[in-house]
Amino acid sequence: MQLYFLGTSAGVPTRTRNVPAMLLNLQHPTRAGLWLFDCGEGTQQQMLATPFNPGRLERIFISHLHGDHLFGLPGLLCSRSMAGSPLPLTLYGPKGLREFTETALRLSGSWTDYPLEIIEIGPGKILDDGLRTVTAYPLAHPLECYGYRVVEHDKPGALNAKALKAAGVPPGPLFQQLKAGKTVTLDDGRQINGADFLAPATPGRSVALFGDTAPCAAALALAQGVDVMVHEATLEAAMEEKANGRGHSTSRQAAQLAREAGVGRLIITHLSSRYDEQGCQRLLDECRKIFPSSELADDFAVFCV
C-alpha cells in the first residue's frame, strides 16, 4: 500500500499546504484500488499532480463534516462524472453526509452518471472486501468524527509441494485445496490436512488514519500495533490546552499515543497554518523526542506501508 498526501494543513490552506485529503493506493493488480480519505477544498486540483485521477477512485471515507475535510467533495464528484468514468463509487462518513452530498448536487443542478452509494456509518466494522477490513472508531471532536483502521487479511503461507509429493499427493487440483488449508481424501483413503503443509501466514499490513481528535480512549484501540499511524499534530506541545479545547492534539500527544500503541511509524499531518517550514520541523522534532520513528507529511509526499 502507498499513502499519497494531497493536503496536510489544518483549517485553511497555506501557500505550501492544502486542506486535508489523502489517497490510499492499495496497489491491487485487478481492481481500481484507490481510496480517498477526506476531501478538502481543492482536492481534485491536488490530484492533478499525482499519477491518479478521480475516475480511479473506488471509495471515499470522510472523517467528519467540517468544511476543511469536506468542501472539495461536490466538485470532485461532478468532475468524475463529466470525465465519463463509469466505475461505481461509495462514500462513507457520519450522519449528514448523504444530506450534504445530495443537497449540493440538487441545488447546483448536478448529477453523477456513475453508480454512487452513500453509507452513513457508526462505530465498528464498516467494510470487508475480501482482501481487507475497515473499522471506524469514534474520536473526540466537536462534530461526530471517526478514524479508520485498515487491515489487510493475512496472506496464507507457502505450500510445501516437495513434502506433499513425498507423501504421495499428486500435483494438480488437490494442491489448490490444500493451499486453502482444506483436508482432502486421496484415492488410497488417506486424509491430508493442508494446514500441516503450509508455512506460517504472513500478517497483513495495517494503517490507522485519524480524523481530527483530542486524546481519547478509542485512540489506543484504533492505533494498537499498526504498521503506520497517521495522526494530526495541529499545535505544538506548549499549546496543549488550546489544542484539546478545540478537539485537536499536539505533536507530543500524537507521539505519546504512537509509543503507547506500539505502532511501527508515525506520520504527522493537519498542521496549523501558523507554522512555516521551520515551525513544522519543530513539531516533528517534538515528536521524535518521544517517538523516534516519526515523519512529517508534506503535500504530495508518498509513504509506503
Q: Which residues are catalytic?
A: 68
The C-alpha atoms of residue 21 and residue 39 are separated, in whole angstroms, by 5
* Phi, then psi, of 71 in degrees rounded to 5: -70, -10
State which amino acid sits at residue 299. D
Task: Compute the distance between CA of residue 33 and CA of residue 217 in angstroms, rounded to an integer.
Answer: 31
> Does the annotation place 141 within a ligand binding site?
yes
- Is 28 within any annotated ligand binding site? no
Residue that is written with C-alpha cell 505550501 in the block = 16
For 41, 83, 131, 279, the CA distances from 19, given in Å and listed in that order, are 7, 24, 30, 17
* Amino acid, single-letter form, for residue 73: L
Residue type, 296: L
Partner residues linked to 151 by β-bridges: 133, 206
Nearest to 181 by CA among 203, 162, 156, 155: 156
* Closest C-alpha to 248, from 58, 54, 22, 69: 69
Q: Is 212 annotated as a binding residue?
A: yes
CA distance 273 to 262: 30
Helices (H), the chain: 43-47, 73-82, 97-107, 161-166, 173-179, 217-223, 240-245, 251-261, 277-290
Q: Residue 241 and residue 245: Cα distance in Å, rounded? A: 6
Tell me whether residue 231 is annotated as binding.
no
Q: Is 248 annotated as a binding residue?
A: no
SS3 184: strand
For the annotated binding site for Zn(2+), the residues are 64, 66, 68-69, 141, 212, 270
Which amino acids are annotated as binding site, given as ranges?
64, 66, 68-69, 141, 212, 270
